[in-house]
Amino acid sequence: TSTLPLHRFSDNRLLTHRQLSRHLVGLWVTGNPTANALLHRVLPLGLMQYLKSNEKVPEEADRMHVRDNLKAVQTLSKRRINKLELTLIHWRTRLRSKPQRDATAQRPCDPEEETTADQGGR
């Protein structure tokens, strides 16, 4: 005969509640005599015996969704960097594919040259 209750159902919502309850009670009771005294007054004797039991709890899958913020941010950052690199590669390719103009067309005009050209070389 075991003091650990056996659950013969597989409703995921209830399993999640059970795991959360175990976690919260474990945090509440850890090494705190006042919390232990309060639990003895509030909870049924069978549950207290279950909490004090040395029997191993059977392994089961953790059904709680834990959000890993660091991993999410790193993944998003990698995507943005990759997109930026891809954009820069395409931008460089487009610049190289454009025909080069001659050097005189790219040179800024000198205002004195324009006035002498307008006057007919005088």
CA distance 90 to 74: 24
The answer to whether residues 43 and 85 belong to one domain is no
In a domain, 61, yes or no: yes
In a domain, 77, yes or no: yes
Contact call for residues 39 and 29 (beta carbons, < 8 A): yes
105 is a domain residue: no
> Which residues contact residue 51 at a Cβ distance below 8 angstroms, ignoring those fewer than 6 apart?
25, 29, 39
Per-residue pLDDT at 1: 44
Task: Inform me whether the pLDDT recorded for 49 exceeds 80.
Answer: yes
Joined tokens for residue 83: 């997109």
What DSSP character marks residue 61? -
CB-based contact 65:19 (threshold 8 Å): no
CA–CA separation, 7 and 74 (whole Å):
39
Split into its structural domains, the chain has a count of 2
Domain-located, residue 76: yes
Residues 30 and 54 in one domain: yes
Question: What pLDDT score was predicted for residue 18?
Answer: 80
Angle, helices 33-42/45-52, rounded to nearest 10 degrees: 140
Domain of residue 30: give its range. Answer: 1-65
20 plus 75 within the same structural domain: no
Q: Is residue 31 in some structural domain? A: yes
Q: For 35-39, 40-44, 82-86, which range has the lowest pLDDT when averaged over its residues?
A: 35-39
In this structure, are 47 and 74 located in the same domain? no
Give the pLDDT band (50/70/90) at residue 59. confident
User: Global pTM?
Assistant: 0.24
